Amino acid sequence: MQDYFVDLHIHLGRTASGKPVKITASNKLTLEAVLEEAQIRKGLDMVGVIDCQVPEVLIGLRNGLASGELTELTGGGVRFGDITLILGAEIEIHDENCQGLIHALCYMKTVEKMVEFSNWLSKRMKNVTLSTQRVYENAVEIQHMVDSLGGLFIPAHIFTPFKSLYGKGVRRSLTEVFEPELIDAVELGLSADTSMASGLSELDRYVFLSNSDAHSVGKIAREYQKVRMKEPNFEELRLALRELDGRRVIANYGLSPKLGKYYTTVCEKCFSQRMGLADACTGCEHSKFVKGVSDRIAELADGSESGRSRPPYIHQVPLDFIPGLGPKTLEKLRGDFGTEMGILHEANYEELVEVVGEKVASLIVAARSGKLVFKAGGGGRFGRISDE
């Protein structure tokens, strides 16, 4: 068994020919750029790209396999150099039971299985060439289709206020929408961690995932997990999500939830934090608020004590959140320590001081030990490291 760094939620901004995929993602975020960044600069071992249902992306994958640039693994997944690509599709679900939009991640073992899924989606989706499009089909039927293709089904960023399983205030249980047995894991999102999500007893049966939801190259691996597997392939990942035969997630790495964009409830107009149960913002008297993940989980928590043992959730501050650590300084760090995994996990204080000086080195080390103070994010704005 070995331990592998894994980020399973990365978008594409453009196809190889320059056509848009995820409208809100960077134009530089091509499949080639994702694989290069994740392998060479981030130090990941496995990535899930969740726009692989796009026909042009599939054509590129088929061509790569034919030329020998890519190799399809016996256990599933596509090998490129030293990194494994897991083929995924993020979809938007809205049926009569949803009472609001829900995003879900669907992963397939092989290119041809993803081709089948793409063809199925194209008959239920207005534009299969774009990311995260609405699927006009019952949620449970989608789950059964994924299962019939041997895929994995994972609700995405389950607590965010918009387009998530628990985000809509009227929905209190996953059983209102999904078939629980056909959920393979749940993704927490940037504004939640294990201690928060453990308040919901219906989630006890599922592994928690922490993924980046990257919309730009630099955001890859801002959240990820360390997964113990025999090899980095699809079937080993499936075993890890089921915690079978020694395979499992052994650590989640993610933002302190306060750094997430939706941690606290704020006024949707001026972003002032809501105080208590006030009906109007004390700053601008606006009456509408964006409910924070922390408040939503408090509403949903059922008070049951879970007996389940969870891996540690290690709060981590991505390097681009560190004050004084710009692109040039980051390149210097990469030059000395190879990858961001090396900077975040291996470089000691004395080594960091030699490259970036005491102030930045102290912030990186303080971030590792959870000693930084944050100003909480909300309403779509990230939190930040407090300078007080």
| Residue 20 within any structural domain of the chain | yes
| Residue 137 within any structural domain of the chain | yes
Whether 350 and 249 map to the same domain: the answer is no
146 or 174, greater pLDDT: 146
Six token digits for residue 171 = 């929905």
| Residue 88 within any structural domain of the chain | yes
**Mean per-residue pLDDT of the chain:** 88
Six token digits for residue 53 = 């249902």
Q: How far apart are the first and last CA of the chain?
A: 45
> Does residue 260 register a pLDDT over 70?
yes
Whether 76 and 186 map to the same domain: the answer is yes
255 or 312, greater pLDDT: 312
Residues 167-188 have a mean pLDDT of 88
Per-residue confidence (pLDDT) for residue 152, from 0 to 100 = 98
> Does residue 24 register a pLDDT over 90?
no
| Residue 341 within any structural domain of the chain | yes
- Helices and strands in the chain: count of H runs, count of E runs: 10, 17
| Residue 9 within any structural domain of the chain | yes
Q: In percent, how much of the chain has pLDDT > 70?
A: 95
3-class DSSP state of 296: helix
Domain boundary among 204, 231, 254: 254
The DSSP output letter for 217 is: G
Whether 323 and 198 map to the same domain: the answer is no
Whether 77 and 150 map to the same domain: the answer is yes
| Residue 313 within any structural domain of the chain | no
Strands 134-135 and 186-187: unpaired
Q: How many CB atoms lie within 10 A of CB 314?
A: 18
Whether 185 and 82 map to the same domain: the answer is yes
Per-residue confidence (pLDDT) for residue 62, from 0 to 100 = 95
Strands 208-209 and 186-187: parallel
H or E stretch covering 355:
helix 349-368
Residues 160-167 have a mean pLDDT of 88
Six token digits for residue 295 = 């408040």
Whether 235 and 351 map to the same domain: the answer is no
Whether 148 and 66 map to the same domain: the answer is yes
| Structural domain boundaries, residue 331 | 319-371
The tally of domains found in the chain comes to 2
Residues 74-98 have a mean pLDDT of 91
Output the domain CATH number for residue 346.
Answer: 1.10.150
Q: Give residue for tokens 């007996």.
A: 307
Identify the burial level of 323 via C-beta atoms within 10 angstroms of its C-beta, where 0-12 means exposed, 13-18 middle and 19 or more buried.
exposed
Whether 66 and 192 map to the same domain: the answer is yes
User: pLDDT class for 278, splitting at 50, 70, 90?
Assistant: low
H or E stretch covering 280:
none
Output the domain CATH number for residue 24.
Answer: 3.20.20.140
User: pLDDT class for 225, splitting at 50, 70, 90?
Assistant: very high
